Amino acid sequence: MIYEYTGPGSTPGFKYYRITLKLFRDENCINCAAMPPEVVIGIFNNDDNRRYGPNHSVNLGTFSAMPINPLPPCITNPPSLSYMVGTYVLVVQLPDNVAGYTAAYQTCCRIDGIMNVPNSGGATYICRIPGTLNRPTGFTDMSPRFNSSIDVVCYNKPFTLDFSATDPDADSLVYSFCHGFNGGSTTNANPVPPDAPPYGFIQYTNGFSGDKPLGNLATINPATGIISGIAPDAGKYVVSVCISSYRNGEYISEHRKDFIITVAPCDFGGAQLFPSYLSCDGFTFNFENLNTSPLNITYYWDFGDGNTSTSPNPSHTYAVAGTYTLKLVVNRGGSCSDSTTSTLNVFPGYFPGFTENSPICKDRPLQFRDATTANYGSANAWKWDFGVTGISNDSSRLQNPTYS
């Protein structure tokens, strides 16, 4: 749900706003409700959370297909994605107030079989129109517009989803995962009237949360709104993304998008590495493609030091310490070719150790000798702590100290 300032009201101190609600329907969903021909939107004064004016019945306007981005190359078992978008538009005139307004629509329930949210509690969709608090005279604002396309996501495979937005006012936007709102009754698909805020958060199943709606291996870029990572098991997942908008460094409002992502049991070949590799105890690395699809037939590794390999899981020993760029190409020269790079850091490995002249005798100095070994270079600084509690001089920076 978004809002747009459309101009001054017919009475001084009032403004016109266009509120747009978009509902998404998965056309492959079995036994799912049809797009409602009418919704009821409530407006609430954030000064006291009381309803402002009557509830508004809004008829379905446009009903159109949601764009689906191209499938990954050489995908197997591709899903059939089809989403329809229903749009409802309400124009209201609101008086200026301090804390602004909340526009809300509620529905009883989400689809069955969601992996990260129990099938209860309903859903609440809102937009918050900012008020005059700490705002200059004549301040106006419009919601960011979320990207409306969707990508195929295959389970246990790398993926990206574009939840970016454009802001008509050129405000700065910060993206984050957030908790979805529950709401509505379990029997009424379109509660009349919608409940007043504040709204409770939906409960998530084990292993998921509002901050991690797709599990621990998926994150959102706070600057771009791009969700990426490794997809969880096949199924449907509720994902809520919040945008905090700022103008001249001052916070304006929060904007939300709540969407059900389909993770399909599909597969595709490709090259996938960790973002970086690090070794502090040796020069030898064992590599493997994190994408284990059987569609990956040939491999070409460039270790960044002039050496290469065509093994699926090569082992390579670097001659000297340093930072290298690792590159992997799968199906090189073929129709399903893919490549990726990663940063590899080979640092000297140190193994601290020491010996002492046992046995230990009371009041006699104990000689400690450094026995540190290193794969590259040598130790040039030491800090000993002899473990005596209650005193501060039980330490040394000598290589081979004595202590009594």
- Measure the CA–CA gap between 387 and 382, rounded to whole angstroms: 16
Q: Domain segments of the chain: what residues?
A: 2-264, 276-346, 349-404
In the block, which residue shows the tokens 């006012």? 169
List, in sequence order, every residue forming a beta bridge with 239; answer none if it has no partner: 259
- Does the fold of domain 349-404 match that of domain 276-346? yes
Query: In this structure, are residues 32 and 85 in contact, taking their beta carbons and an 8 Å threshold?
Result: no
What span, in angstroms and rounded, lies between the C-alpha atoms of 123 and 190?
A: 10
Residues 383 and 394: their CA atoms lie apart, in Å, by: 11
What residue has token string 């706070």?
222
Q: Which fold has domain 349-404?
A: Immunoglobulin-like (2.60.40)
Residue 78 is predicted with a pLDDT of 84
Look at residue 39 in the predicted model and tell me its pLDDT: 93
pLDDT of residue 9: 94
Residues 6+ apart with CB under 8 A from 393: none
Q: What is the pLDDT of residue 189?
A: 55
How far is the CA of 115 from the CAs of 259, 336, 354, 368, in angstroms? 13, 31, 54, 59
- Which letter does DSSP use for residue 146 in this model? E
Q: How far apart are CA 243 and CA 175, in angstroms?
A: 5
Label the pairing between strands 395-396 and 384-385. Answer: antiparallel
DSSP string, 236-260: EEEEEEEEEEEETTEEEEEEEEEEE
Position 216 scores a pLDDT of 94
Identify whether the C-beta of residue 74 lies closer than 8 Å to the C-beta of residue 336. Answer: yes
Q: Is 112 helix (H, G, I), strand (E, B) or coil?
A: coil
Residues whose CB falls within 8 Å of the CB of residue 292, separated by 6 or more in sequence, listed in order: none
Each residue's pLDDT expressed in tens, for the chain with a length of 404 residues: 999 999 999 999 999 999 999 999 888 877 777 889 999 999 999 999 999 999 999 999 999 988 888 887 778 888 888 889 999 999 999 999 999 999 999 988 788 789 999 865 689 999 999 999 868 778 889 999 998 888 889 998 888 999 999 999 999 999 999 999 988 665 565 566 889 999 989 999 999 999 999 999 999 999 999 999 999 999 999 999 999 999 988 999 999 999 999 999 998 888 989 888 988 777 899 999 988 888 899 999 999 999 999 999 999 999 888 899 999 999 999 888 899 999 998 886 777 889 887 667 777 788 889 998 876 667 788 888 888 877 777 888 899 988 87
Is domain 276-346 in CATH 2.40.128.50, yes or no? no
The count of residues in the chain is 404
